[in-house]
Each structure stands twice: as structure tokens, then as C-alpha cells.
Amino acid sequence: MMLSMNQKLVNRELYPKHIIERIKEIIIPEAQKVKFSAKIEGLVRDSEWRNEISEENLYTLMERDINACESSNMHSFSRDISHKLVHLLKEVYPDKIVYSTGHYYYPPTGYMGWHTNYKVPDDRVYITYTTKSKKSFFRYLENDKVVTDYDDEGFTFRRFSLSSTKPYFWHCVGSECDRFSFGFRICDIT
């Protein structure tokens, strides 16, 4: 994945206001239900969470040539609202096929460890809903430097590409607040 001088690995997407309003109408009512069900399943605080998403841990995984996430503290939840979000994203990306990839709730000290998704390379779009600004983030390796992109309070929209070959796109997630993440694959129509 070669980049030009001005090209970024991760881009913040800007959606039309009416799309954002419809996304809010879908996601916000579901957030408390998801949080409640995660508590029932016993999701707990993890005092070691920062170690799993540290730069040192990334380099250890890279040296061992491990590409899959080995650790997490999150709750994967039902995709019942996926079809509604997929239809909205098809309006934003009319020349693409949109697939749901996963929806996750990260409690305070929630995280998904470093990984690459190299087996399913495509563009990804993530809609993130958080309860506090700069208390959760998407972290990735770009040009041999670790970049931490903090979430805004409310909604953050990101797009990035995954590679099936080295250098892989290494990334992870961490949160000190309630964070809800909705992932989608964006593929060319062939």
C-alpha cells in the first residue's frame, strides 16, 4: 500500500446532514439496550487494557508475525439494525457494494487489540458513536509511526483500506467511555 505525500491511510468522512440525522435515529435508541445486554453478559473493566493496545505490543506482534487480534474487551452485538445502516451507506456510496462486518460495544477500558484483517482486504467504513470527546480512539500504524485518532463526542465516520500483503494495515481500538462501533465493507461493483 504505497501512499503519496498527501494521502492518508485513514480519512474522516463527511456525510450529508440528512444522512447523519437518520443514522442518529437508528443508533441512539439502541445504544442503551446494547449496553444493558453487555452488562448482563458480564463484560468487566480490564486494568491491563492499555498494554494490549500499546506501541510496544504492536512491535511484539509484528516480530512474531501475528496478524489476528489476540485480545479484546468488548461486546459484539446483534446486527438487527445493519440493514437500515447499509441502506443509508448505499446512498452515500452509490457506486459501491456495502456489507456489514461487525458491531461492537466497548465499555470503559474496552479495546480490540492490534490486528490487520489481511484475510479480507477491502475498504472499511466505521460509524462510531461515543459518549465523550477524546476518550476513545482508533489507533493505527502509518509510515512506521503510531497514530491515535480520537473520537468526537457523538458520531465519528472513518474510512480506510486493508491490504492482503505486507505492509499490512495494523490497527486497534481503545476506550475510556461507552463506544459503539458499526463496521462495513465497501467494495467496487464489478
What is the model's pLDDT at position 67? 82
Q: Is 17 part of a structural domain of the chain?
A: no
pLDDT band at 33 (very low <50, low <70, confident <90, very high): confident
Q: Is 174 part of a structural domain of the chain?
A: yes
What is the model's pLDDT at position 40? 62
Decide if pLDDT at 35 tops 90: no
pLDDT tens figures, 82-105: 889 999 999 999 999 999 998 999
Phi, psi of 139 (to 5 degrees): -120, 140
CA distance 122 to 52: 25
Q: Is 38 part of a structural domain of the chain?
A: yes
Nearest Cα residue to 151 out of 125, 177, 170, 171: 177
CA distance 112 to 9: 19
Number of domains in the chain: 1
pLDDT greater at residue 78 or residue 1: 78
Q: Is the pTM of this model over 0.75?
A: yes
How many of the other CB atoms lie within 10 Å of CB of 141?
21
CA distance 26 to 85: 8
Q: Domain residues for 40?
A: 33-188
What is the model's pLDDT at position 109? 95
pLDDT greater at residue 37 or residue 170: 170
Nearest Cα residue to 20 out of 184, 160, 180, 154: 154
**Which percentage of the chain shows pLDDT scores above 90?**
72
What is the model's pLDDT at position 5? 39
Q: Is 70 part of a structural domain of the chain?
A: yes
**Which percentage of the chain shows pLDDT scores above 70?**
93
pLDDT band at 3 (very low <50, low <70, confident <90, very high): very low
Our CA angle for 142, 119, 117, nearest 5°, is 40
pLDDT band at 7 (very low <50, low <70, confident <90, very high): low
Parallel, antiparallel, or unpaired: how do β-strands 75-76 and 179-188 relate? unpaired
Q: What is the CATH number of the domain that holds 141?
A: 2.60.120.10
Q: Is 8 part of a structural domain of the chain?
A: no
Q: Is 12 part of a structural domain of the chain?
A: no
Burial code (b: 16+ CB inside 10 Å, e: under 16) for 18-45 equals eebebbeebbeebeeebbeebeeeebee
What is the model's pLDDT at position 43? 73
Decide if pLDDT at 138 tops 90: yes
pLDDT greater at residue 44 or residue 141: 141
Mean pLDDT score across all residues of the chain: 90
Decide if pLDDT at 58 tops 90: yes
